[in-house]
Amino acid sequence: METFEAHCLILPYPVQGHINPMLQFSKRLQHQGSKVTLATTNYLFKTLQEVSGFISVETISDGYDEGANEIAEETYLAMFQKVGSKTLTKLILKLKDLGCPVDCIIYDAFLPWGLDVAKSLGLRAAVFFTQSCAVNNIYYHVYKGLLKLPLEETKVQIPGLPPLLSSDLPSFVSSYGSYPAIFQLVVNDQMKNIGAADWIFFNTFYMLEEQVNDWMANVLPVKSIGPAIPSMYLDKRLEGDNQYGLNVFKPMTDTCMAWLNERPKSSVIYVAFGSLAAVDAKQMEELAWGLRTSNHHFLWVVRESETNKLPEDFTEETSDKGLIVSWCPQLEVLAHKSIGCFITHCGWNSTLEALSLGVPMVAMPQWTDQSTNAKLVMDIWKMGIKAQQDANGIVRRDVIGQCISELMEGAKGQEISRNAKKWKDLAREAFDEGGSSDENIKDFLAKMIESGR
């Protein structure tokens, strides 16, 4: 029988943007001596293109083992809670029978019933917020009634954050009423039972969100444990750690890396909008011609479901300058010396990855938390430029061109590059042995082991 001092069960919401940070966190826990089992849904497991050998993966059911296409969000979430609670309980009991008892469930804040399962089995529970402290502080303010909706003021002041316009707020808050099921999830469900969790983790690092972290730590015992970046990109402690391991899309690794290896240092614009965003067709066209006329090299991730939005003659016409792929190993790409800047939708993972690897950003937020992330990237971390939309919500090709040249050629680009280096160093410091995130993880494991099974 395997022996270990602690066994954590990790429960991510089954989408790429939540699996990635929780998988990276799993690797760090395992590196510190904990056994880790990651539980994902039968459907997601079946559709994964790559499965890591590094972490043990088990499956539960969300009630939709053949997929939940066309199912309304609230129906899906209710079914997941019902079937997920039962199948997770069964899994934990099975692991116990196999001589591998679980000590703590670390559940995604999007799956708050993870706490009930833990408590019903007499286990410890830790909630993991995959998004920034800033965004969750905004949701917390709405939850507590400290920020009233619909918004009455033109500027919102949240402790630890700069004054925010409505357009800087997460879309579920600024477009109050448009996404009732997700609003209920992010504002109410993920906040209502956190007081009962034994630990509260944020996927960020202390210096990045110092003030907002301090404010939240006054009301809740929050701990920042990020950046969730595989250590091979920050230090060499985890030799043999592969990049992600749990990929919903198949990365075109060899094609991308061979192409990047042929490009000069800091010459390539990397463009990607994460795993979910459906970019407006007009926006795709503007982006395509903005890239083309910039005259820089570019590597553009266009997921299969998005390719029909590319202008007809674009692929061929750009073949000398650009490479379009359906998915890439983003961390390897961001860490490559040929990358000069990143045009991003500012999903929290992409933002944190770019910050931690020191890559300047052109921010083109689409929805959810991305507008807030973009605001902080530009005004607080000074790591990039937000591309301004026109009255129809489209960023035009000339604006994209200007942002690229400001970053790649202008004085502003040089200042941003200096900041990029600063954030990269601070991320490494937090992550390294004795750094703030590293200490928080060690402290968590020590306390769990101390309090016994």
Residues marked as catalytic: 18, 108
Judged by beta carbon, residue 274 or residue 401, the one nearer ligand UDX is 274
The β-bridge relationship of strands 164-165 and 155-156 is antiparallel
Q: What's at 151, amino acid-wise?
A: L
Beta bridge partners of 270: 299, 342
Q: What's at 86, amino acid-wise?
A: K
Question: What are the E-state strand segments in 274-425?
Answer: 297-301, 322-325, 339-344, 361-363, 384-386
Please select the residue that binds ligand UDX; options are 41, 190, 330, 417, rule is CB under 6 A: 330
- State in angstroms the smallest separation of the CB of 12 from ligand UDX: 11
Please select the residue that binds ligand UDX; options are 12, 17, 63, 226, rule is CB under 6 A: 17
- State in angstroms the smallest separation of the CB of 152 from ligand UDX: 26
Distance CA 367, CA 75 (A): 22
Distance CA 91, CA 49 (A): 24
- State in angstroms the smallest separation of the CB of 276 from ligand UDX: 4
**C-alpha pair distances (Å), 293 with each of 119, 121, 297:** 58, 60, 11
- State in angstroms the smallest separation of the CB of 349 from ligand UDX: 3
Distance CA 310, CA 95 (A): 48
26 binds ligand UDX (CB under 6 A): no
Please select the residue that binds ligand UDX; options are 87, 349, 371, 437, rule is CB under 6 A: 349
Region near ligand UDX per CB under 6 A, out of 33-41, 154-162, 288-296, 326-334: 326-334
Number of residues forming the site for ligand UDX (CB under 6 A): 23
Distance CA 136, CA 133 (A): 5
Give the residue among 146, 153, 142 at the shortest CA–CA distance from 176. Answer: 142
Judged by beta carbon, residue 6 or residue 323, the one nearer ligand UDX is 323
The binding track of 220-259 with respect to ligand UDX, each residue x by CB under 6 A or -, is ----------------------------------------
Contact 375, 162 (CB under 8 A): yes
Region near ligand UDX per CB under 6 A, out of 13-21, 55-63, 136-144, 414-422: 13-21
The string of DSSP letters for 62-117 reads -S-TT--TT--HHHHHHHHHHHHHHHHHHHHHHHHHTT----EEEEETT-THHHHH
DSSP state for residue 11 in the 8-state scheme: E
Phi, psi of 268 (to 5 degrees): -105, 135
Judged by beta carbon, residue 26 or residue 349, the one nearer ligand UDX is 349
Please select the residue that binds ligand UDX; options are 25, 348, 431, 444, rule is CB under 6 A: 348
268-307 binders of ligand UDX (CB under 6 A):
272, 274-277, 301
Tokens standing for residue 245:
């391991």
The binding track of 352-391 with respect to ligand UDX, each residue x by CB under 6 A or -, is -x--------------xxx---------------------
Give the contacts of 265 (CB within 8 A, at least 6 positions apart): 337, 338
- State in angstroms the smallest separation of the CB of 248 from ligand UDX: 9
- State in angstroms the smallest separation of the CB of 140 from ligand UDX: 16
- State in angstroms the smallest separation of the CB of 13 from ligand UDX: 9
Please select the residue that binds ligand UDX; options are 131, 231, 372, 417, rule is CB under 6 A: 131
Applying CB under 6 A, the residues found at the interface with ligand UDX are 16-17, 20, 130-131, 272, 274-277, 301, 327-328, 330-331, 347-350, 353, 368-370
